[in-house]
Amino acid sequence: MRLLLVEDDDHVAAALSAVLAKHGFQVVHARSGEEALRAVLPANGGPPFAVVLLDLGLPDQDGFQVCGKIRKITSTPVIMVTARADVRSRIHGLNLGADDYVVKPYDTGELLARIHAVSRRTVSGEEPGQPGESAQRLGPLTLELPTRRVAVAGTAVQLTRKEFDLLALLAQRPGVVFAREQIISEVWRTGWEGMGRTLEVHVASLRGKLGMPALIETVRGVGYRLVVPAGQPGT
């Protein structure tokens, strides 16, 4: 599996690269945002990366900017790896298109699990359909599973892969509570341990993008459910 490590600290990069190599990864190291952007360009001639590990404290430009630019070039999963632990930074990173957000210092085993989780993307093999095909309407919310389109009151909403997968899972059974462990298992395809914060951040980001915080209800001690406004289709 080919992986792009974007890290300006050579000592940190060397240590992590050694660990990743032992687990079968072919690591390409970029020391700046500009190097990272050149590396992900399709014209660079190399095979595509399975995952990008992106540090935020880069010498030439902020990692958030780099993530946004990467998203315009490729859909390769991006994991932000940073010391910025505040929730606002996590949500901002996810809104820019990051698939996960890992805070330093981290456990290497957890990082490896997250890399494998985001790289296990389901390829349906379906050709994109026309807007409106196979649409699921839940109140003002519309989901088109084949095309992975989402709209609220007719306005398109851009979601990351994991945000869409989370929303689609809850939309399978509106009103039914999904346990946190089940959501982690089905959306991230990994165990619950260490993933609770990731789920919370994705839910917060999803609520913000949809503009309807009450649509996803927290059931304390259990999990989450999708709540369609009374009298709307899907109830």
Question: Which of 9, 70, 11 is CA-nearest to residue 36?
Answer: 70
DSSP state of 49: P
Residue written as tokens 């072919």?
A: 26
* pLDDT the model gives residue 125: 32
* pLDDT the model gives residue 31: 96
Looking only at Cα atoms, what is the longest distance across the chain? 59
Q: Would you tell me how many other CB atoms lie within 10 Å of the CB of residue 204? A: 17
Crossing angle of helices 87-95/196-210, nearest 10°? Answer: 60
Rounded to two decimals, the pTM is 0.61
Q: Tokens representing 51?
A: 């995952």
User: What are the per-10-residue average pLDDT scores of the chain (235 residues)?
Assistant: 94 94 91 94 76 95 93 88 89 86 88 80 37 70 88 91 91 87 81 77 93 91 84 48
* pLDDT the model gives residue 57: 92
Residue written as tokens 């958030």?
A: 64
Domains of the chain and CATH, by start: 2-119 (3.40.50.2300), 135-226 (1.10.10.10)
